[in-house]
Amino acid sequence: MEGFFFGESGRQLYGVFHGADPAAYQSRSVLLLYPVGQEYMRIHRAYRRLADSLSDLGFDVLRFDYPGTGDSSGDFSEASLASWKTGAIQAYDELQTMAPSAQVDVVALRVGTIVARALVRERRVARLVLWEPRFEDAAYLRDFTDAIAAKGPTRPNFVADDGSLHYNGFRFASELQAELSHGSLADLEPRRVRSILALSTHDLAEDPALNRLFNRNDNWSVMQTEGPDDWSVLDSVGGLFLPEASLETIRHWLSQ
């Protein structure tokens, strides 16, 4: 496990590389795409655990912070989806530079699945894990706005006069909200990926739009796992999220 900065000076990105166990090396790499906001905080340890176990299986793994998140340059309040997509492409290229491999797989969680769609258009991705995907991009932020509407605005969770959405300690600027409200999973070009796993604690096929998508191409796998599913929860001590069943499902699917 090796942390490092990469990318342009002044716009550097922070990444952590988990080199493949030489004894198990299989010339395959995995790029991990985080969710954002408090979800990034909660899943960080699980992503590290996933990266460690994949490297034990012989994968070279890179996880990185999007611009404006974690240790990467910039502030979340000024972050943009466009910069996250660019960052993902940079991370993909960095991973291929550090550990050239025959194929690159991608694991993307929640908003990371939106970033993954853009990456698939620009780079060759062999296998793609879409973890807790929503059909409409707007659904991710709708979880937050629905919670505010149901419980009323509070000091941490509210929509400001300038339209920015504040939720669990992170400010989603109006421009970012607009970027996150246009697309859908239908924008994914599934033929550019050899196989896709859609993984959730819900029965994704119950969503008619997702179900149509899954049936349109034969390279989709859909799996349901046990585990906690409320991504907008924040406990009093900033508790971490270790969805072991989902991690194990991802490890197993990628190791096949």
Task: Write out the residues near another protein by the rule CB under 8 A.
Answer: 1, 3-5, 12, 14, 16, 38, 41, 44-45, 48, 69-71, 73, 75-76, 155-156, 166, 168-171, 234, 236-238, 240
- The size of the chain, in residues, is 256
**Closer Cβ to another protein, 228 or 238, answer by number:** 238
Beta carbon nearer to another protein, 73 or 224: 73
Q: What are phi and psi of 104, to 5 degrees?
A: -120, 125
The count of other CB atoms within 10 Å of the CB of residue 18 is 23
DSSP 150: H
Q: Read off the tokens for 114.
A: 């939106």
Closest C-alpha among 120, 115, 55, 113 to residue 231:
113
- Cβ 174 to another protein, closest distance in Å? 15
Smallest gap, in angstroms, from Cβ of residue 176 to another protein? Answer: 15
Any alpha helices (H) in 37-80, and if so which ranges?
Answer: 38-56
Nearest to another protein of 59, 170 (CB atom)? 170
Query: For residues 164 and 201, which CB has a smaller minimum distance to another protein in the complex?
Result: 164
**Pairing assessment for the beta strands 13-18 and 2-6 based on DSSP bridges:** antiparallel
CB contact at 8 A, 253 and 221: yes
Shortest CB 195 distance to another protein, Å: 30
Closest CA to 187 of 118, 93, 112: 118
Report the SS3 class of residue 92: helix
How far apart are CB 184 and another protein at their closest, in Å? 29
Beta partners for residue 224, in sequence order: 200
Residue placing its CB nearer to another protein in the complex, 79 or 128: 79
CA atoms of 71 and 245, how far apart (whole Å): 28
Nearer to another protein, 15 or 190 (CB): 15
